[in-house]
A = this chain, B = another copy of it.
Amino acid sequence: MGDARRVSMADVAEHAGVSGQTVSRVVNASPRVDPATRARVEAAMTELGYRPHRAARALRTGRTQTIGLVVSTLANVGNSRMLQAVADAAAARGYALTVVTLGPDGIGPGFEQLREQGVDGVVVLNEASALARDAPAPLDLELVVVDTPGADGAAYSIVQSDHAGGAHQATAHLLSLGHSGVHLLAGPAASFAADERERGWREALVDAGREVPAVVRGDWTAASGHSAAAALAADPTVTAVFAANDQMALGAIRALAEAGRRVPEDVSVVGFDDIADAADYRPPLTTVRQDFDVLGVRAVAALVDGIEGGRRRTETILTTLVTRASTARRG
């Protein structure tokens, strides 16, 4: 194997009886090629099995047609979904996707790795805090950040779900069922998505003239939801819990069950994300659906626009309340 050198433009050119430059024009869909010549070149490409050499093109043009994705963890189901959505959207636009996960040293090494690899742009998932803390906003890299606070005149585009709106909807739904208050099982303090969901919850309570109870906090995992919800489960005045994601809701439901409280008869629970499993929790979970596919498509679109010289922008994707059996009318 391997002694068969790869087919280059020069080979195609010779085979088709044209110059390499004309082959290049055909490959890049330039309009200034005679249709007959184009057909001849295309036939030669097919016959020889020609494929363009991305590295050579990258060397010449300075673009790698590759985008990077920085993510802290994929244990989080939402992140996995986003990754898949971004991968598909990137492929659809002819970009390859390189994935970097964050080590303990923050986002710096990740950027470094991607910069060295020469990506044309980077999508950053859910790393608002790490980004703000570590990175002096790498201006040399086109950037789209998902779920991050919108600094005015930021050097990057922002794509986000309407976390606050979804949380408001979830809380209002619980109140409309006759619950006098709604307790929040919040996400980690450093997370923008967690902050926004907390804000929506708080505003819904204030809008309805209710008290805003103290917040308990987890780290998105079911295990953290379980331990954080123990306090809520022990308090008989708690009849409605809004968990900042589905996985923490799962842990919370277990904690409630262990305290002898039934869902939804004694306590109603709402989650956030609508991950695939949520419909098979016991009981099936009422939750706020994020449209990860749209999020991924928009993130890639914003990034590619930026690479091609477009303006920075901020986009917010709406969320939907999905009502299932974990919420019931009070009393």
Residues of A within 8 A of B (CB): 1, 51-56, 58-59, 64, 66, 73-75, 77, 80-81, 83-84, 87-88, 91, 96-101, 113, 115-118, 139-140, 221-223, 225-226, 247, 250-251, 253-254, 257, 276-277, 279-282, 284
Contacts and interface: CB of A to CB of B under 8 A. Distances in A.
Contacts of A280: 222-223, 225-226, 247, 250-251, 254
Contacts of A251: 280
B99 A83 contact: yes
Given A98-B97, A276-B221, A282-B254, A118 B55 contact: yes
A74 B64 contact: no
A286 to B, nearest CB: 15
Number of copies: 2
13 contacts: A52-B116, A53-B118, A54-B55, A66-B98, A74-B84, A75-B81, A75-B84, A84-B101, A87-B101, A99-B99, A222-B276, A223-B276, A250-B280
A96 B117 contact: yes
Nearest to A251: B280
A84 B73 contact: yes
B222 A250 contact: no
A46 to B, nearest CB: 14
Nearest to A278: B222
Q: Nearest 4 A-B pairs (CB), nearest first?
A: A222-B280, A55-B58, A80-B80, A74-B84
Contact of A55 (B59, B81, B140): B59
A97 B116 CA distance: 13
Given A80-B80, A100-B91, A276-B75, A116 B222 contact: no
Nearest to A222: B280
Contacts of A247: 276-277, 280
A162 to B, nearest CB: 23
A99 B296 CA distance: 15
Nearest to A252: B280
Contacts of A277: 222, 247, 250, 277
A9 B97 CA distance: 27
Contacts of A113: 91, 96
A311 B284 CA distance: 50
Contacts of A51: 115-116
A296 to B, nearest CB: 11
Given A1-B140, A54-B116, A100-B91, A222 B279 contact: yes
